[in-house]
């Protein structure tokens, strides 16, 4: 029943224990009626008791093998995955100035999610994108990250098609906050540091203060060293989101792509985050995707997207 044994080994262990007790009673009975002598009683008891470990390990083997095979299967699945877009390494460096989507048509499985879609992201501006769920807002950000190739049209950064920008160059220029914040089984500090691997502790803390999550982290048993694996799902949606935002602040790139950064925040936290965002965005271009009017209000220009078109 315990986590590493499973139900089968619980049953097996119980049987072994019952058998042990029966053996003790029987051996004592045989000894007391003189059927066996003292060594004849004690040696079988020791032999049986010491077989407990190996037998229980054998009982556990089935469960262990099952989970090992399942883990192996998952690793093989990942190895067999082929990337949607290839890593680009042979282009010259581009410095971020502005970005643009020009007449993009894109669909995941043939059916267009974005149709003849155009939008400009000028230097030092916050561009708001608002629209119903499923209208293609997250898809727009993924195309700006070049996670997928467009079917028609082009994505330009500083007037260069992103197909002609090195992947590492693109990643340096862009801070991307996904709609769902993903965590790795590691400490909170290391989970935030993936946005900038050589960040000092002070930089991590500064990013968390901006994302209004520092005070929360300090209430955890081991602060920044608390293991997220242990917390996992116990972090609230709002806490996960603010940690996601701390990553984006830490990366500190000139082009920020934020996918619903305030959807799980109460209005007090939203106001604090928007104030930080406004301060942080100076000298940066921000694409702010949200379905909340209150969040979009900080944008310099806002577009409404409906069924993959700007409306």
Ligand X SMILES: Nc1ncnc2c1ncn2[C@@H]1O[C@H](COP(=O)(O)OP(=O)(O)O)[C@@H](O)[C@H]1O
> What is the binding site for ligand X (CB under 6 A)?
108-109, 113, 131, 133-139
Q: In the complex with Mg ion, which residue's Cβ is closer, 131 or 238?
A: 131
CB of 134 to Mg ion, least distance (A): 8
CA pair distance 27, 80, nearest whole angstrom: 59
CB of 230 to Mg ion, least distance (A): 29
CB of 237 to ligand X, least distance (A): 16
Number of residues binding to Mg ion, judged by CB under 5 A: 2
Q: In the complex with ligand X, which residue's Cβ is closer, 138 or 262?
A: 138
Among Mg ion, ligand X, none, what binds residue 3 when CB lies within 5 to 8 Å by partner kind? none
CB of 107 to ligand X, least distance (A): 8
| 226 CB-side CA count, 13 A | 17
Q: In the complex with ligand X, which residue's Cβ is closer, 143 or 213?
A: 143
Among ligand X, Mg ion, none, what binds residue 108 when CB lies within 5 to 8 Å by partner kind? ligand X
Quickly count: other Cβ atoms within 10 Å of residue 35's Cβ. 11
Torsion of CA 190, 70, 232, 192, to 10 degrees: 20
Those residues with Cβ within 8 angstroms of residue 224's Cβ, 6 or more apart along the chain or in another chain: 187, 188, 189, 201, 204, 205, 217
Task: Check: CB of residue 250 under 8 Å from CB of residue 207.
Answer: yes
CB of 58 to ligand X, least distance (A): 44
CA pair distance 243, 248, nearest whole angstrom: 9
Q: Stretches 55-63, 69-77, 99-107, 179-187: which one binds Mg ion (CB under 5 A)? A: 179-187
Helix (H) or strand (E) holding 143: helix 137-144
Per CB under 5 A, 138 contacts Mg ion: yes
**Interacting residue ranges for Mg ion, rule: CB under 5 A:** 138, 179
């Amino acid at each position: 029943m315990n986590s590493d044994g499973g139900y089968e080994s619980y049953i097996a262990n119980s049987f072994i224990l019952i058998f042990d007790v029966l053996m003790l009673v029987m051996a004592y009975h045989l000894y007391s009626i003189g059927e066996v002598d003292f060594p004849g009683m004690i040696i079988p008891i020791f032999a049986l008791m010491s077989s407990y470990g190996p037998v229980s390990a054998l009982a556990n083997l089935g469960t262990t093998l099952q989970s090992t095979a399942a883990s192996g299967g998952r690793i093989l699945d990942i190895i067999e995955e082929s990337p949607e877009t290839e890593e680009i390494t042979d282009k010259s460096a581009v410095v971020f100035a502005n970005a643009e989507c020009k007449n993009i048509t894109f669909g995941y499985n043939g059916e267009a999610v974005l149709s003849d879609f155009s939008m400009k992201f000028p230097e030092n501006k916050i561009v708001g994108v608002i629209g119903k769920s499923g209208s293609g807002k997250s898809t727009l950000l993924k195309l700006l990250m070049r996670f997928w190739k467009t079917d028609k049209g082009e994505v330009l950064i500083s007037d260069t098609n992103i197909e002609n920008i090195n992947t590492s160059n693109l990643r340096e220029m862009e801070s991307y906050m996904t709609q769902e914040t993903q965590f790795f089984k590691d400490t909170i500090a290391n989970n935030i540091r993936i946005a900038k691997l050589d960040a000092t502790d002070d930089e991590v803390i500064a990013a968390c203060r901006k994302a209004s999550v520092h005070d929360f982290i300090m209430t955890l048993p081991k602060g920044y060293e608390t293991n997220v694996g242990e917390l996992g799902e116990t972090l609230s949606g709002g806490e996960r989101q603010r940690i996601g935002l701390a990553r984006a602040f830490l990366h500190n790139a000139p082009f920020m792509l934020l996918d619903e950064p305030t959807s799980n925040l109460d209005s007090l936290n939203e106001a604090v985050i928007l104030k930080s965002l406004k301060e942080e965005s100076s000298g940066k271009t921000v694409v702010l995707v949200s379905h909340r009017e209150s969040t979009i209000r900080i944008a310099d220009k806002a577009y409404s997207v409906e069924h993959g078109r700007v409306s």
